[in-house]
Amino acid sequence: MHQAELTLDPAFKVAPVRRRTFGTFVEHLGRCVYTGIHEPDHPSADDDGFRRDVLDLTRELGVSTVRYPGGNFVSGYRWEDGIGPVAERPRRLDLAWHSTETNEVGVDEFVRWCRKAGVEPMMALNLGTRGIAEALDLLEYCNHPSGTTLSDLRVANGSKEPHGIRMWCLGNEMDGRWQTGHKTAREYGRLAAETARAMRTMDRNLELVACGSSGSGMPTFGAWEATVLEETYDVVDFISCHAYYEEKDGDLGSFLACSTDMEYFISSVVATADHVGARLKSSKRIDISFDEWNVWYLSRFHGAEPPTDWPVAPPLLEDHYHLADAVAFGGLLITLLRNSDRVTAASLAQLVNVIAPIMTEPGGRAWRQTTFHPFAQASRHAAGDVLRVEPVSPSYETKEYGEVPLLHAVATHTEEGTTLFAVNRSTDAPLSLKIDTRALGGARIVEATTLTDADVYARNTADAPDRIVPRPNPDVEHDPARVLLPPVSWNVIRLA
């Protein structure tokens, strides 16, 4: 058995909990939209064709924002295709995912779905094959009340009130050669800056996200952020980060420590942004929108045979997550919360079917994947202020990241109580965690749950949707506060 301890103190404040940390992502990719959120013939479909079972699970998940419509898809997207009478909308080839896009769902339907789900829409712009004029047209269509051709068109299409979208992404992954309309950092930075200036002329209260690197392993990482921010620093609010992780060659120890790379990614981008700000003698601070993150077995996608046809909503990237995936996923969530002073928005990619916490059957059932539970618990219980937690923990050696602590943790605090989120990365032994609560007036553990299983590769399925769910942790002591964390586990401990 391993031994660890940590101290909880409300004076160790990092930042307020950011509700936008619990954002997700809906892209026109595979079955995320069609037979995901939208399936008019489904028994649970409402009058707008949205699956009520998926809406219920989205609310249960605790989603705050949803980024739309891509992703790689957006770099070839004509937003006008998705408005007006559905029967008259064009069908287009989607180059990003080698599919046919029917455009049955567009911006008006998406915003309508957001209102039903109780989430904030976050819109991405096509700066791959399009530019400033098309971005301004979409902004006018979405946000101007009425009295212009485009705003009146929105009203005529059934949306009398403006959509009021505040957060806009200036393109997607423009550093990647896979991106339609890929650009150099200088080319993209100039276009993003001019688009942002024009958009702010129309609406000065927008929040704008410049494209950062598609991953910390990109050859242009660091230099890309520096160049883009040199062009855009005064006209954007965020720089984006994207990161995906998977277990490679059976190296479970490194996989469970993948949040180490996310920490490096965040600290590097913060340092670069602050350096650019200092060079520009600006008092402004650029925050991070970590608007794509997840466990994704990308190697399986790259190893698949390329398609030869152009299907509508084919099953793509439908990873089925096991317990170890959920624990690594929980570690990434902890890292996002630990960096809430600079990561003020994030989007789990994606919401339904496509590397997602929610899975559906066409015409049938919907269920929660293992990764659903850490996200839902963190969204439900993280409130007030994020507290800095520095555990005293044993370490272990990993192939990818060197020496890494067995315990990864963060806490949040309100006047009503404190919640500790913790991952035990050990693959072979439980970890006895002693919690110093003296600064909390001797608060006691009132609830402790754990997500674990004897089989770290156990999954939830439509037939067994509750194989992996959070369960009460029976190994709790109150004085002093102590809890036993099983090996390979995600844990939530509430104190009051």
* Active-site residue list: 173, 292
CB 473 within 8 A of CB 480: no
- Which residues lie below 8 Å from residue 87, measured CB to CB, with a gap of 6+? none
d(CA 438, CA 313): 55
Nearest Cα residue to 295 out of 320, 315, 278: 320
Q: Amino acid letter at 302?
A: H
Residue 339 and residue 386 in contact, taking contact as beta carbons nearer than 8 Å = no
Gap between the Cα atoms of 344 and 356, Å rounded: 22
Backbone torsions φ then ψ of 163, nearest 5 degrees: -70, -25
Cis preceding linkage at 350, omega within 30: yes
Query: Is 479 exposed, middle or buried, given 0-12, 13-18 or 19+ CB atoms closer than 10 A?
Result: exposed
Tokens at 22, concatenated: 């619990």
CA–CA gap between residue 329 and residue 325 (Å, rounded): 6
Q: Rounded to an integer, what distance in angstroms lies between the CA atom of residue 228 and that of residue 191?
A: 10
Name the strand (E) or helix (H) holding 139: helix 132-143
CB of 214 within 8 A of CB of 160?
Answer: no
Taking the C-alpha atoms of residue 170 and residue 127, their distance in angstroms, rounded to an integer, is 7
Q: How far apart are CA 321 and CA 289, in angstroms?
A: 25
Name the residue among 350, 354, 352, 357 with its Cα closest to residue 375.
357
DSSP secondary structure string, 152-218? HHHHHTT--S-----EEEE-S-TT-TTSTT---HHHHHHHHHHHHHHHHHH-TT-EEEE---S-TTS
Question: What contacts 49, CB < 8 A, 6 or more positions away?
Answer: 38, 39, 40, 104, 109
